[in-house]
Amino acid sequence: MFLRAASESAPQTRGSDMFFTGRGDLGITSVIGGPALPKCNVRLEALGALDEAQSYLGLARSLLLHTSFAEPILRVQHDLTLLMTECAMASRGDPLITDKHTARLEKDMALWKESAGGFRGFTVSGDTIAGAHIHFARTVIRRAERRVVALLQSGGQVSPEMLAYLNRLSSWAYMLAAAAAYKKTDCITVA
């Protein structure tokens, strides 16, 4: 009854200039011309986690003291937008994220390793505001990877390139946080 009442109270006409359809009021949505899905659908969970990762990287980028890290973060934000598009389209067509995207992450990590050193063990974030936010973004990226794997395990279409990119991206975020902390101070707290 609640769902019926909600649909009856929603406006009946939706113009093309509207930013909303009202279908979400019933817990249903669709992505890129696909079928209607409940908002708890595993594909939508993956999309939401990718969106959170992209947004949180934007927050970290806005807090950086050294702008040399802004371009790689912005590039990854664009990559995550491509991943969201690919995920929403259920891999209809060629992958939008390719091995070249993953290779760029690896190139960034090699550069940052030279300046900040390699993996130093589990770190305690918080030495810098931006570094703490980058570490938080890293944990969101890892959650996004788990959601995409859950989509794959449930029978959803996920490209191998998407999985490789997301796997590398959490390492990229770790190295970015270490490099950002190194630019500010010569130490990061090791647990």
Tens digit of each residue's pLDDT (9 = 90 or more) over 37-75: 888 899 999 999 999 999 999 999 998 877 789 999 999
Residues of the chain with CATH 1.20.1200.10: 40-184
Check residue 184 and give its pLDDT.
60
Check residue 118 and give its pLDDT.
57
From 2-16, 52-66, 168-182, the region with the lowest mean pLDDT: 2-16
Find the mean pLDDT for residues 111-126. Answer: 70
Q: Would the pLDDT of 27 be above 90?
A: no
Does residue 165 contact residue 79 with C-beta atoms inside 8 Å?
yes
From 8-12, 148-152, 168-172, the region with the lowest mean pLDDT: 8-12
Check residue 185 and give its pLDDT.
43
CATH number of 40-184: 1.20.1200.10
| pLDDT above 70 coverage of the chain, percent | 78
